[in-house]
Amino acid sequence: MNPKSREMRNQWIGRKFDIHTDTPDQKIIALAGNPNTGKSTVFNALTGLNQHTGNWPGKTVGNAQGTFVHKGESYLLVDLPGTYSLLPNSVDEQVARDFICFGRPDVTIVVVDATALERNLNLALQVMEITDHVVLCVNLIDEAERKGIVVDLEGLAERLGIPVVATAARRKQGLGELCDKLAAVADSRIQPAPIVPRYREEIERVIEELTPRLEPLLAGWMKPRWVALRMLDGDETLIADMEKYMTDSIESGKVLGGEVSATWPQA
Ligand SMILES: Nc1nc2c(ncn2[C@@H]2O[C@H](COP(=O)(O)OP(=O)(O)OP(=O)(O)O)[C@@H](O)[C@H]2O)c(=O)[nH]1
Ligand SMILES: [Mg+2]
C-alpha cells in the first residue's frame, strides 16, 4: 500500500472503527489469535503505556489500540478479540473478521499457542485466506520447551508460506524479531505467499466461476476466492457488512456499484 492509499485508509478506519493513528500514514498492525494465546501480553510488551482502550463502535466488545516505534518507524497496534474462527458465529468473531477484511491492516499477526499448534493453525489459515499480509507468532514457546515440544519453525514457515517467529511474550523474548518481520511485511521487503487450502472438486469449480466476477467488484479489498467461499457457505453477515463498509468508501465511490477508484483501496 502506498503512503497516499494508507492515509485514506487511516482516515476511513478512524470513522468506521474508531481506531486513530498518530500520523496520517502510520502503519497499522492487527493482533489476532485464539483466546488465551498471549495477544494482550504481546500488545502490552510492545506498546507499554502508549495505549488506550475502549469499545468497538456499537459493540460491547473491548478494543485496545496502542503505538510503538521499531527502528525509527512508528506503528499502531490493534488488539483484536480472541477467536477460534472468523466465521461470524459471535460478535467477537465478527469484529475480528471485519477489522481484518475492511480495516485492511498493513499486517495481521496471528498469535498461536506453541503447545496447541494444530488447533490454533485453523485461525491462521482463515486469516491467510483473507489476506497475504500475515506473520505467525508462535507464542508460549517457553511452555512448549518445558513440555518437550519442539516446533519446526522453518518447516512451518515453508509449508504455510508466511514468516514465522517464536516468542515467549511474558519474558519479552522474540519480540525484536517479531517486529523485524512485521516491518518487512509492512513495507513489502517480504511478500508472504500463503498456501491456498483446496476444497472438493465441485467447490473448486464454483470458485473458479465466481472469482473472475467478484474480482472487479472487490477492487482489492479482500481475496475474491475467500469471498466466493463465504458466499457458497451462505454467509449473509459478510454480504451485509460489505454493504455497510464498502458502499461508503470515500473517494472510491460506490465500490459495490462497480465504480472503483484507481488509487484506493489497493491490494
Ligand atoms: N509461559 C508463558 N505465559 C504467557 C506467555 N504469553 C502470555 N502468557 C500468559 O498467558 C495468559 C494469557 O495471556 P493474554 O495475553 O491475556 O492472552 P490473550 O490472547 O490476550 O487472551 P484473550 O484476550 O482472552 O483472548 C496470561 O496469564 C499470560 O501471562 C508466554 O510467552 N509464556
Ligand atoms: Mg487479550
Q: What is the pLDDT of residues 51-60, one digit of tens each?
A: 999 999 989 8
Strands, E assignment, the chain: 27-33, 51-55, 62-70, 73-79, 107-113, 134-139, 164-166
67 lines ligand 1 (CB under 6 A): no
Q: Which atom of ligand 1 is nearest to the CA of 37?
A: 19
Q: Report pLDDT for 259.
A: 39
Q: Which of 36, 95, 137 to mutate to test the pocket of ligand 1 (most atoms within 8 A of CB)?
A: 36
Question: How, if at all, do strands 164-166 and 134-139 pair?
Answer: parallel
Q: How many Å apart are CA 19 and CA 54, to the nearest integer?
A: 10
Ligand nearest to the CA of 167: 1
Q: How far apart are CA 194 and CA 108, in angstroms?
A: 13
Tell me the per-residue pLDDT of 106-116, one tens digit each, with 9 for 90 and over. Answer: 999 999 999 99
CB-ligand 1 contact for 169 (6 Å cutoff): yes
Percent of the chain exceeding pLDDT 90 equals 76
User: Is 66:77 a contact under the CB 8 Å cutoff?
Assistant: yes
And the C-alpha cell for 219? 477492487
Atom of ligand 1 nearest to the CA of 169: 31
pLDDT band at 248 (very low <50, low <70, confident <90, very high): low
Q: For residues 100 and 106, give the distance between their C-alpha atoms in angstroms, rounded to a whole number.
A: 10
ipTM of the complex: 0.99
Residue 1 has a pLDDT of 79
CA of 107 to the centre of ligand 1 (A): 21
Res 252 pLDDT > 70: no
pLDDT (tens digit per residue) in 127-140 = 999 999 999 999 99
pLDDT the model gives residue 5: 84
pLDDT at 258: 38
Question: What is the model's pTM?
Answer: 0.92
DSSP 122-155: HHHHHHHHH-S-EEEEEE-HHHHHHTT----HHH
**Ramachandran angles phi, psi of 44, nearest 5°:** -65, -40
pLDDT digits (tens, 9 = 90+) for 12-43: 899 899 999 999 999 999 999 999 999 999 99
CB of residue 109 inside a 6 A radius of ligand 1: no
Which mutation among 147, 170, 172, 177 tests ligand 1's pocket best, with the greatest number of atoms within 8 A of CB?
A: 170
What are the tens digits of pLDDT across the range 43-84? 999 999 899 999 999 898 989 999 999 999 999 999 999 999
Cα 31 to middle of ligand 1, angstroms: 13
Does the beta carbon of 39 sit less than 6 angstroms from any atom of ligand 1? yes
